[in-house]
Amino acid sequence: MRGLVRIALSLFGIWLAAGTALAQGAYPSRPIRVLIPYAPGGLTDTVARHYAEQLRKSLGQNVLVENKPGASGIIAIEEMARAKPDGYTIMVGNISTNCLTPVLLAKRMKIDYDRDVQIIARLADAPVFFMATTSNFPPKTFAEFIDYAKKNPEEVRYASAGVGAYQHINTEILAKRAGGLKLVHIPFKDGGSGILKDLAGGDTHVSWFNVTNPVGMIKAGKVRPLAVAADARLPLWPDVPTLSEVGFSGFRPSQWSAAFAPAGVPREIIDKLHEAFAAAAKTPEMQAIFEKGGMVAPVDKNSDQARAWLKNEMETWRRDIADAGIKVEE
């Protein structure tokens, strides 16, 4: 009797494994959800929607983008991490939500980020401006900003996408390296679109911004780039000095976007998604978008390379944050 039970269980296991393999082999067989940790309109949202259209064509399924803003990206990250690990719920995040938030705000998360989340692919790198409003704000150069901030402590307001966001951390590092500037932090739940609107209106004075979205506001004279975090001056902005040129080296020259999935998603599905994202980056449509926006698609050979890159990125930020003495209330 026991032998028959063992045989039955063995056959059931074989059937279950075969069914799972067939299901995975058919991936994707229904729409894929892509969670975005911001409101519509910012760089991460824009990048995700362009990629979603390319994946729809190559995978033959709808790719539905859903905006889940708030809590420095934690809302979107936790919903994605807790989703069924079948590849049908993923997210597109960025340097703030999927690097700095896990480093600084780990105690606020109800998941273990390192255990529960895996990277699929890197999607885009964009150089960033350090920008100032032109509305009732005298500084016209980076040096003038530093001088003004020193003479007017706790009067300069800087905007970010939230506590632990790229703009928050980079500004605090800059303030420390400039001799201890005392600036006022204004976080925005709706990310880039809210930051740019308030910066243009003069409600906030400075922030970091990717080179893609503020072009219209720059041309309209509502904001001005004081410096750029890049290895060299940008061809489209030859009059904007790099941060190294103005005496502040060591700021990494990109605001990146990447795709992520729950840790339990099988490797074959991660590989298929990685290949789809990499192929999308090479299409003429995406190449035109990258060129227009001053972005680069850092295509890795596989998800292992992306994983190694992210590990190094997070370790580097941990070191920089510790060196600057930045702490966030838990």
CA-based end-to-end distance of the chain: 58
Provide the pLDDT for residue 13.
46
CA–CA gap between residue 284 and residue 31 (Å, rounded) = 24
**Would residue 41 be called left, alpha or beta, if left means φ above 0 and alpha means ψ between -120 and 50 degrees?**
left
pLDDT along the chain (330 residues), means of 10: 48 45 71 95 92 97 96 95 98 95 93 97 94 97 97 96 86 93 89 84 94 86 95 91 93 89 98 97 94 85 95 92 77
Q: What is the pTM of this model?
A: 0.82
Whether the upstream peptide bond of residue 298 has omega within 30° of 0, thus cis, is no
How many alpha carbons fall within 13 Å on the CB side of residue 129? Answer: 28
How many alpha carbons fall within 13 Å on the CB side of residue 14? Answer: 6
Q: What is the DSSP string of 66-88?
A: EE---GGGHHHHHHHHHS-SSSS
CA–CA gap between residue 268 and residue 270 (Å, rounded) = 6
Q: Which amino acid is at 97?
A: T
Provide the pLDDT for residue 7.
47
Provide the pLDDT for residue 275.
97
Provide the pLDDT for residue 215.
83
Provide the pLDDT for residue 14.
41
Provide the pLDDT for residue 189.
72
Burial of 61 (0-12, 13-18, 19+ CB in 10 A): middle
Provide the pLDDT for residue 25.
58
**Residues in Cβ contact with 245 at an 8 Å cutoff, skipping those fewer than 6 apart:** 227, 233
CA–CA gap between residue 59 and residue 31 (Å, rounded) = 10
